[in-house]
Amino acid sequence: MRESLIILACLIIGIALRSCRTLLLRKVGALTFLLASFLIFFFIFDSFCMGWIGVFLWFFLPWVNLLTRIRKLRLPLDNRLKVRKMPSPEHFPNAARLTSEIEGADFDFVAESGWNWVGMRQYFRFFWHPEAKSVAAVCLCEHEQIAFAFVTISSRSTCGIAIHTTNYPFSPNLKHPPKTHWDHLPCEKNRFDLIYDDHEKHLARLGLTKEQLEMPDPDELIKQVESEMRKQIDHNATCGLIELTDDGHFRYSVKGLFFLWFQSVKDMIRLC
């Protein structure tokens, strides 16, 4: 009973800490769950080595999804954005606020569209700012019972470099191609003015001025997004992360599954 009560106490403390609003306390709560896993295996097998195995098993949990769902996915080589209306604001309360903030920053609406990607429905609302030579997009993602929204701001240099700043909360599921620079912000930065400020800092770090940026063409924006996606797919095929099939689709290779696992572990550590 003593061992069971110790484990139960760790779980209760972990649940309490994970319910806190303070990030540091939530991370301590995650460590408490790892401690509980260590104790379960330690008490059962009376071995410190087995206790550590109980801890590391958490980091192999993503393989359940990788081997049961991701391995079977077949994704189109030429994914096309289609005209789609945004879902109801009741499902994405942040979308209306983000749209209002973008329009308040003098970005003009361009189009709404969407596609399915890695089993997830994605909806985009595009805006552009001719003076800033930048494009902003609000993206809404739906996957089963999970839904979230994020913002991406993009600029392109006259020499063909694409610069993106986003608060997308997860690590990318494909490698970025050459001449593409991404700055992934913490998801806590969910106000447009903060994201745009970081985008300008991103451009400054790359030594790019407004004069060196290409003027966006709102009529070609959708085609440009599709073209960038195809370039990314081609780059990952060259890297061996994906394999092409005979029906115009691709799937993740064994190397690609390990890449996704590594990205999942990073997210587990960063977002816990």
Same domain assignment for residues 50 and 126 = no
The neighbouring-strand residues paired with 127 are: 109, 136
Same domain assignment for residues 221 and 86 = yes
Same domain assignment for residues 92 and 162 = yes
> Is residue 91 predicted with pLDDT exceeding 70?
no
Same domain assignment for residues 102 and 191 = yes
Residue 188: phi, psi to the nearest 5?
-65, -20
Mean pLDDT of 76-85: 82
Q: Is residue 23 part of a domain?
A: yes
Same domain assignment for residues 92 and 6 = no
Give yes or no for a contact between 58 and 41, defined as CB atoms under 8 angstroms apart: no
Q: Which pLDDT score is estimated for 126?
A: 94
Q: Is residue 144 part of a domain?
A: yes
Q: Record the pTM.
A: 0.85
Q: What is the pLDDT of residues 187-220, one digit of tens each?
A: 778 899 999 999 999 999 999 999 999 999 999 9
Q: Is residue 237 part of a domain?
A: no
Same domain assignment for residues 133 and 30 = no
Output DSSP code: residue 115: E
Q: What is the pLDDT of residues 171-184, one digit of tens each?
A: 999 999 999 999 99
The model's confidence at residue 272, banded by pLDDT at 50, 70 and 90, is low
Mean pLDDT of 254-266: 94
Q: Is residue 238 part of a domain?
A: no
Same domain assignment for residues 156 and 87 = yes
Same domain assignment for residues 145 and 15 = no
User: Which of 226, 243, 262 finishes a domain?
Assistant: 226
How many structural domains does the chain have?
2
Q: Is residue 154 part of a domain?
A: yes
The H or E element containing residue 243 is strand 242-244
Q: Which pLDDT score is estimated for 239?
A: 95
For residues 95 and 8, what is the distance between their CA atoms, to the nearest angstrom?
40
Q: Which pLDDT score is estimated for 92?
A: 67
Q: Is residue 90 part of a domain?
A: yes
The model's confidence at residue 105, banded by pLDDT at 50, 70 and 90, is very high
Q: What is the pLDDT of residues 115-169, one digit of tens each?
A: 887 667 888 999 999 999 999 999 888 877 777 889 999 999 999 899 999 999 8
Q: Which pLDDT score is estimated for 75?
A: 87
Q: Which domain holds residue 31?
A: 2-60
Q: Is residue 171 part of a domain?
A: yes
Q: Is residue 251 part of a domain?
A: no
Same domain assignment for residues 96 and 14 = no
